[in-house]
Amino acid sequence: MILTLEEAIEREEGIVAENERFCAVAPSESAAAYHSATYHRQIAEWLKELAGRKTAGVSRWIDCTEDGYVECPVCGHLTTCGSEDEIEDLHFCFWCGTRLGVDE
């Protein structure tokens, strides 16, 4: 099953809530649940940060070298486009899926 970013955030927050409920009900047995809640809370926070970056209006490739590489402003991965003309054909980041362009 493929999740949207919002669904992934909701899933992680659900896991956190479930583990926190277990901690409240069985405090003497809750060490693993506490660590799980902490782990999934961090993932949820990272996903929220990513969602915020994707909606912050960032939509331009960052030209980072003369070798034809551009950097995604959201995830930071490099993509080669070969020439200045080819960058206009790159409409999304292959790594994170963010829609990008040069004149948007």
Residue pLDDT, tens place only, 86-98: 656 667 777 777 7
Range of the domain at 16: 5-54
- Indicate whether 50 and 62 sit together in one domain: no
- Indicate whether 75 and 50 sit together in one domain: no
For residue 5, the number of C-alpha atoms closer than 13 Å in the C-beta half-sphere is: 14
- Indicate whether 39 and 78 sit together in one domain: no
Burial of 72 (0-12, 13-18, 19+ CB in 10 A): buried
**Encoded amino acid at 8, one letter:** A
**Angle at 8 (CA atoms; ends 37, 50), nearest 5 degrees:** 95
- Indicate whether 70 and 101 sit together in one domain: yes
What pLDDT is attached to residue 45?
93
- Indicate whether 49 and 62 sit together in one domain: no
- Indicate whether 84 and 50 sit together in one domain: no
Number of domains in the chain: 2
- Indicate whether 70 and 47 sit together in one domain: no
Per residue in 21-66, pLDDT (tens digit) is 999 998 888 899 999 999 999 999 998 888 876 665 556 667 666 6
- Indicate whether 64 and 104 sit together in one domain: yes
**Selection from 91, 11, 99 nearest residue 47 by Cα:** 11
pTM of the model: 0.55
- Indicate whether 12 and 34 sit together in one domain: yes
